[in-house]
């Protein structure tokens, strides 16, 4: 079915018709919802026209949705929310380490962001030294 989707697009079939045909065969061969969803997603992603490109309004909605997601993640922990934004600006491993010792709640809320910042952005020249310790913390591996 996946190969046929490419033919639909190559032959210039409209997205609506291709989707209708796809749904017909999914029903006929009793495909489960997960597979049907994947095929529909694939069909959408291979459209040649740019109708599926995000509009400025959709971009704005995405930004708002990301902001809401961040706020939901920290719920009522405003300090953690503010610090999570600050973490991305810190380029000192020592400072990042200190953030995690502020208190238990902040440690819980921020450790993923702090580890990410330490691995990807902060003091890259120290990576060979710090990698094992950070990975051990992420994977919750205790020192032997």
Partner 1 sequence: MAFKSKVEADPSVISAVEEVIDLDVMRSAHNMTGVDQQVLKSVLKTYAYYNPEIEYCQGMNFIAGLLLMVFKDETTAFKALQELVDKFQMAELFNVELPKLKLYFYQLDRLVNIVLPEVHAHLREEQINSSYFASAWFITIFTNSLKQ
**Spatial contact of 132 and 113, defined as CB atoms under 8 Å apart:** no
Angle at 47 between CA 46 and CA 52, to 5 degrees: 110
Mask 10-29, x = binds partner 1 (CB under 8 A)? Answer: x-------------------
Mask 117-136, x = binds partner 1 (CB under 8 A)? Answer: --------------xx--xx
**Spatial contact of 71 and 64, defined as CB atoms under 8 Å apart:** no
- Asked if residue 34 binds partner 1 (CB under 8 A), the reply is yes
Q: Which stretch, 34-42, 78-86, 89-97, 100-108, contacts partner 1 (CB under 8 A)?
A: 34-42
Q: Compute the distance between CA of residue 123 and CA of residue 90 in angstroms, rounded to an integer.
A: 10
Footprint (CB under 8 A) of partner 1, residues 46-75: 46-48, 50, 52-54
């Amino acid at each position: 079915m996946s190969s046929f989707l490419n033919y639909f697009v190559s032959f210039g079939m409209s997205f609506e018709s291709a989707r209708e045909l796809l749904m017909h065969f999914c029903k006929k061969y009793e495909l489960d919802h997960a597979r049907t969803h994947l095929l529909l997603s694939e069909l959408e992603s291979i459209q040649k026209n740019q109708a599926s490109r995000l509009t400025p309004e959709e971009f704005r909605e995405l930004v708002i949705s990301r902001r809401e997601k961040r706020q939901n993640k920290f719920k009522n922990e405003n300090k953690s929310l503010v610090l999570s934004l600050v973490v991305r600006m810190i380029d000192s491993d020592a400072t990042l380490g200190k953030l995690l010792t502020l208190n238990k709640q902040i440690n819980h809320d921020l450790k993923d962001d702090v580890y990410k910042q330490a691995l990807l952005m902060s003091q890259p020249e120290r990576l060979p030294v710090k990698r094992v310790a950070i990975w051990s913390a992420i994977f919750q591996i205790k020192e032997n």
